[in-house]
Amino acid sequence: MSKYKNFRLLGGKFSVLVDRKASFIFIILVLIAFVVFTISTGSGEMKINPLTVVKVLFGAGPEMETLVITSFRLPRIIVALIVGMSLAVAGGILQGMIRNPLASPDVLGITGGAAAAVVGFLAIFSDKNHSLTVSIAWLPLAAFIGAGVVAFLVYFLAWKNGVSPIRLVLIGIGISTLMQALTTFLMVSGPIYQASQANIWITGTVYGSNWQNVAILVPWAVIFLIIALIAARILNIQELGDDVATGLGEKVQKHRFILLMISTALIGGSVAFAGGIGFVGLMAPHMARRLVGSSFGALLPTSAMLGGILVMLADLIGRTMFSPLEVPAGVFTAGIGAPYFIYLLFKTRNA
């Protein structure tokens, strides 16, 4: 039996090779994600048993449970899942494009730009009594604009007869540090409760997500996740390096720009609704690489599922472990993710 299964569609006009092992792992991950999803939906102040949860999901549960689940828990868990998937795929794309396993949305300054924009939003649209003059519902838009502006800024500052990955990263690091300084400055100059509000946002949390958020985030993320999947073949070529890629007839610069825009769109969407949940974009692609290898067609979907599971778990722990205190999901992704990541790096070194 060959490693790949060939699918031909539309009379051979369209065909894909599917890695058997990867699809097996992918299906298992989908199942795990579903289990985590169900457990997470069932846990909280009011415990609901998983069977009832499944019943509610299919619209046949008791009224009380249905209310709790659909109006409070589901939106937040869906946001967690989608945000995790987006960040993981964006991280995978950046790592392939920059050809370095340490690249991530945080390092490139995109998350930092969103953070600066959010704190700026809180500072600018406050009156003398420090209450907001516009609706807080505009906050995601500010975050998104911040992420987008920084991505463009980094790209254009890195341009010098084309953009090399090294310049992109270095300039990203510089801009990221600047954004951090701006954020801290804005936090210092505002009142302290605003700073603490901003700090929770920067750390990353899916607290307070509602169906409106889901309705914006889900279509956006799904579209770009699909585009990312189609772009996986570009990534495979880009990872060979500029010279080889050019030799293979790849439009290196144009595609690099497209890849950067895809990941920015994914990151922008997720920071807009969940803040700067860190290390998922770094960690999930690594875990996926160990599971299915480094061909991006298999890597991206796998890391998407892993990312979703990670953020849902982080949210679940943050919600239940110190109840009634809510710990932002970002604290756990960083607290568990960072040490695990270092462990991975040392392990690869010895292997």
Partner 1 sequence: MLLKNTSLKWAGFLIAIIVMLFLMGASIVFGYTDTTLQMAIDAFTNNNGSNEHIIIETVRLPRALIASAVGASLAIAGALMQTLTKNPLAAPGIFGINAGAGFAVVAAITLFNVNNMQGFNALAFLGAAVAAISVYAIGSFGREGMTPMKLTLAGAAISAMFASFTQGLLVLDEALLDQVLFWLAGSVSGRKLETLISVLPYIGIGWVGALFISGKMNILAMGEDVAKGLGLNTGFIKIAIGVIVILLAGASVAVAGPIGFVGIVVPHLTRSIVGIDHRWVIPFAGVLGAILLLAADIAARYLLMPSEVPVGVMTAIIGTPFFIYIARRGFNAR
3-class SS shares of the chain: helix, strand, coil, % to 5: 75, 5, 20
Q: Nearest approach, Cβ of 209 to partner 1 (angstroms)?
A: 18
Cα–Cα dist 95/317, whole Å: 28
Q: Nearest approach, Cβ of 171 to partner 1 (angstroms)?
A: 5
Would you tell me how many other CB atoms lie within 10 Å of the CB of residue 258?
A: 14
Does 120 bind partner 1 (CB under 8 A)? Our answer is: no
Q: Nearest approach, Cβ of 197 to partner 1 (angstroms)?
A: 10
Using CB under 8 A, which of 3, 131, 192, 249 touches partner 1?
A: 192
Measured in degrees and rounded to the nearest 5, phi and psi for residue 231 equal -75, -5
Two tokens, residue 10: 């539309």
Would you tell me how many other CB atoms lie within 10 Å of the CB of residue 32?
A: 14
Q: Nearest approach, Cβ of 271 to partner 1 (angstroms)?
A: 14
Cα-only R_g, the chain: 21
Q: Nearest approach, Cβ of 163 to partner 1 (angstroms)?
A: 11
Does 158 bind partner 1 (CB under 8 A)? Our answer is: yes
| Residue whose C-alpha is closest to residue 96's, from 228, 248, 279 | 228
Does 52 bind partner 1 (CB under 8 A)? Our answer is: no
Q: Nearest approach, Cβ of 195 to partner 1 (angstroms)?
A: 6
Site for partner 1 in 224-263 (CB under 8 A): none
Please count the residues of this chain forming the interface with partner 1, following the rule CB under 8 A: 51
Cα–Cα dist 50/56, whole Å: 10
Nearer to partner 1, 137 or 166 (CB): 166
Using CB under 8 A, which of 258, 317, 335, 340 touches partner 1?
A: 335
Two tokens, residue 183: 């954020």
Nearer to partner 1, 104 or 209 (CB): 104
Is 94:104 a contact under the CB 8 Å cutoff?
A: yes
CA distance readout (Å), 136 to 116, 118, 133, 309: 16, 10, 9, 28
Site for partner 1 in 161-180 (CB under 8 A): 166-167, 169-171, 173-178, 180
Does 119 bind partner 1 (CB under 8 A)? Our answer is: no
Using CB under 8 A, which of 93, 195, 287, 299 touches partner 1?
A: 195
Would you tell me how many other CB atoms lie within 10 Å of the CB of residue 173?
A: 15
Using CB under 8 A, which of 116, 228, 274, 282 touches partner 1?
A: 282
Does 117 bind partner 1 (CB under 8 A)? Our answer is: no
> Which are the contacts of 283, defined by CB distance < 8 A and separation ≥ 6?
91, 310, 333, 337, 340, 341, 344
Q: Name the region of 246 (left: φ>0; alpha: ψ -120 to 50; beta: rest).
A: alpha
Contact track, partner 1, 94-113, x by CB under 8 A: ------x-xxx-xx------
Does 338 bind partner 1 (CB under 8 A)? Our answer is: yes
Does 202 bind partner 1 (CB under 8 A)? Our answer is: yes
* Site for partner 1, rule CB under 8 A: 100, 102-104, 106-107, 157-158, 160, 166-167, 169-171, 173-178, 180-182, 184-185, 187-189, 192, 195-196, 199-200, 202-203, 278-279, 282, 327-328, 330-331, 334-335, 338, 341-342, 345-346, 348-349
